[in-house]
Amino acid sequence: MFVREKRIRGYTYLYLVETVREGGRAKQRIIKNLGRKEAVTASGALERLATSVARYAERALVLSQIDAGNPDGLACKRIGAPLLFGRLWEETGCRAVVEDLLSGRSFEFPVERAIFATVLHRIMVSGSDRACETWLSDYDIPGVDGLSLHHLYRAMAWLGEELPADEQGGATPFSPRTVKDRVEEELFARRRDLFSELSVVFFDTTSLSFTGAGGKSLGKRGYSKDQRPDLMQMIVGVVIDAAGRPVCSEMWPGNTADVTGLVPVIDRLRSRFAIGRVCVVLTGA
């Protein structure tokens, strides 16, 4: 089908026509008289028709952009994951907690959006912040326009920012309390009620190796669970409650044995989340 012009008594009319074959010959058959050209174009009817048809002609739109020499005008963004995890981010209170802790701070970029983007990226592909910057271009995530790599780095630095001396109570011998700890504690407090308890928690650890400079305080050589004994590493421990919800995470020097980190973790659970009896179930290799 296509639109055809026809002059009648000095006026131009537009017709929606199709090509059919009758008796072995091709001929055009009028489907609808769209009206006088001037009136149709002024009313915007053609634009509305083209927009409606375009929803079912994605291939033609792509080819038209290529024919016009405008491949940069083609873009496809995924929306499913940002919508789903964005709702979970809101319902679990992650956004509210982060924004509350940011109140009074003057960042020139949306730190909460940068943190959400990096969390979503690691859920989806488990890559580095450097990879996240490129990955963002494929997803439609509200509020991340204009974010670049250094914003992601600064957001992570804020989470690792050391808390004031009067908030260092219960810190492990391995590392000070940081903003990350406040986030965990506030999230636990939001979902806590009279019946909340951590009588049973699951504790798992793994090693994270890294290259290059940095990690002077925690980077050590030790037993590598990712088969990279040649690299400096850190140990990460995660505590999960009986319902499968993460409670907190801890980091230790790369040469720390699991049993060495266990006692400080239990002490911190008691002080940070005001719990009494703890039964820890160790998992892992």
69-125 pLDDT tens trace: 666 655 667 788 888 899 999 999 999 999 999 998 889 999 999 999 999 999 888
Using the structure block, give the residue that is written with the tokens 């290059």: 212
- Domain regions of the chain by residue span: 2-73, 80-159, 196-283
pLDDT in the model for residue 160: 92
Structure pTM? 0.67
Query: Average per-residue pLDDT in the chain?
Result: 82
Residues 147, 123 contacting (CB under 8 angstroms) = no
**182 pLDDT more than 70:** yes
Average of pLDDT values for 260-280? Answer: 72
Side chain identity at 94, as an amino acid letter?
Answer: C
Give the span between the Cα atoms of 65 and 82, in whole angstroms. 27
Going by pLDDT thresholds of 50, 70 and 90, the confidence category of residue 54 is: low
Beta strand pairing call for 25-36 and 246-253: unpaired
Which tokens sit at 90?
């809101």
Share of the chain above pLDDT 90, in %: 24
* Rounded Cα–Cα distance for residues 138 and 75 (Å): 9
- The residue type found at 213 is A
Joined tokens for residue 55: 């929803």
Confidence at residue 157, expressed as pLDDT on a 0 to 100 scale: 94
Residue from 206, 281, 270, 194 nearest 242 by CA: 281
The predicted-structure confidence for 197-208, as pLDDT tens digits, reads as follows 667 778 788 888
Residue 137, Cβ density class (10 Å: 0-12 exposed, 13-18 middle, ≥19 buried): exposed
Measured CA distances, 274 to 185, 204, 251, 261, 280 (Å): 10, 21, 21, 20, 16
